[in-house]
Amino acid sequence: MKIETRSTMKNIFLTRIILLTILVLINSQALAQTEKVPRGGTLKIVHAEPPHLNPVLVGGPAVVIPACQIFASLLQFDENFRPRPYLAKKWEISPDGRTYTFHLEKGATFHDGKAITSADVAFSLELVKKNHPMGELIFGAIEKVETPDAYTAIFKLPHPFPAYLAANHPYFFPILPKDIYSEGEIRRHPANVKPIGSGPFKFVEWKKGQYLILDRYQDFFRKGRPYLDRIIMEFIADAASRTIALETGAVHLTWGGRIPLSDIPRLEKMPHLVITTKGNEAIGTRGILQINHRKPPLDNLKVRKAIAHSIDKNFFIDFLSGYARPAAGPLRYTNPFHNPNLPQYEYDPAKANQMLDEAGFKKGTDGNRFTLSLSFYPGGKPGGEFLRTQLRKVGIQATLRPPPDYATWVGRISNWEYELDWAPVGDFAEPVIAIDSVFTSKNIKKIPWTNTMGYSNPEVDRLCSEARVELNLEKRKKLYNRVQEILMDELPVIWVIDFEMPTLYNKDFDGIPMDVWGMLNPLDTVFWRKGKVGP
């Protein structure tokens, strides 16, 4: 039997990264020389209105989809999770895995015309570490950033951190202009709603409650891109109106459940529309029931397990027209670290009733045991209503708390002002992001997409700490397998379904990103078929 040492495996990994980088550079140069793509036109997107436009503070896809147009990052990723150049035209990794050297594109500028430099990269890293919900966990391993010249950024780590490279995406590490964002408090900065970025489209106008307009940045460093003249993100509050807008061609694209999945069978028959679930694998969208462990009786494990047994996942999936499958654990089934051998909480109301009785919550004369509030994200009302019905069957009364808007919902979760909450989350294919950032004690924060549940287990903390620095892939998987076993037993949240999130778009447009980040990408590749070909 052949046994590979850690050093050998590491060298093989580094060699592959270097070769892939070379191949991507060659292919991108060849494409730039040969493509003849129509230019011009306006793409209208149905979108949720964001609370702000600064991805350092995040706020989910509502923020990041427009932010990916406004801000660039060091890397992008292909359909196989492999890194490819973006602001960094090339990079090297030291043999010990502790030094990453990025070489920036010299022609890249911010939307005010100033060059993007290594100083902006170093500044942005500090902003992310201090303010991004996942910043400290993902980038805390970086000891310092050296900037020997304007176009070289050298990241120094005190120990190996195999998850680091995957985090160099605009969702986690947007590059912001230092001269603008260094003045004032970042969370109240005026540029959060009128940003100056570095991506293919620049901010033009945001009319609250109606639309966001982004125009082509003429000096974008990828010559000839973007192909579109303008992107308009329309905030259509009514779900039926969003569907009608797609049917009539008033809007051209949407993603991530903005259209009720029950409408998709009808939309599939529309000859002008394309519907695909390809792409978005890195996002790994899931539907979960968040649980605030500070709120009795949710601090009782038997209560949490009873709730898990009360949810009929298959009925949920039927309601979603088959665009989902039962969630089988803390990581999505497509995640390379998913543990397929976890025990499941089958739909069993009788067992749920028994567990609630054993926990000391007997039914009253009216059939009720206790009352909980149930929040849900904007657009999540059908899911909230379904869960309320399920809970009522076992004597739990759930009072729905509809959010008036996305910002209000984010505020409730951030401030721990909830008991149960039905929410979409992403696992992002990397367990440091999907597990460490959500379930470790150090990430109990008043920031969305962190451990707002207040869950704490020293064994989970220890295992995650070990896994973060483990370069041996199989050992790392074993550590995270054990973490998943603990989480599945203790239920910090209840994993309900894995969404198959469709992208719907008008056939007049092409070049829609279909890699693992899907719509959480710059849309510089999108073009209007009726546009002008040529200079």
Q: Is 525 exposed, middle or buried (0-12, 13-18, 19+ CB in 10 A)?
A: buried
Mean pLDDT, to the nearest integer, of 134-152? 91
Q: What is the pLDDT of residue 25?
A: 44
Q: What is the pLDDT of residue 429?
A: 74
Higher-pLDDT residue of 36 and 176 is 176
**All structural domains of the chain with their residue ranges:** 285-499
Mean pLDDT, to the nearest integer, of 33-46? 85
**pTM score, two decimals?**
0.77
Contact between residue 480 and residue 470 where contact means Cβ atoms under 8 Å apart? no
Cβ contacts of 513 within 8 Å, gap of 6 or more:
279, 519, 521, 523, 525, 526
Residue-wise over 367-384: b if at least 16 C-beta within 10 A, else e? Answer: eebeebbbbbbbbbebbb
Q: What is the pLDDT of residue 31?
A: 41
Instruction: Note the CATH number of domain 285-499.
Output: 3.10.105.10
Mean pLDDT, to the nearest integer, of 163-179? 91
Residue holding tokens 């000891």? 143
Mean pLDDT, to the nearest integer, of 486-501? 94
87-128 pLDDT tens trace: 999 999 998 889 999 999 999 999 999 999 999 999 999 999
Contact between residue 201 and residue 231 where contact means Cβ atoms under 8 Å apart? yes
Q: What is the pLDDT of residue 14?
A: 43
Q: Is the pLDDT confidence value at 79 over 90?
A: no
**Amino acid in position 434:** A
Higher-pLDDT residue of 5 and 533 is 533
Q: What is the pLDDT of residue 300?
A: 98
Distance CA 56, CA 189 (A): 12
Q: What is the pLDDT of residue 534?
A: 67
Averaged pLDDT score across all residues of the chain = 89
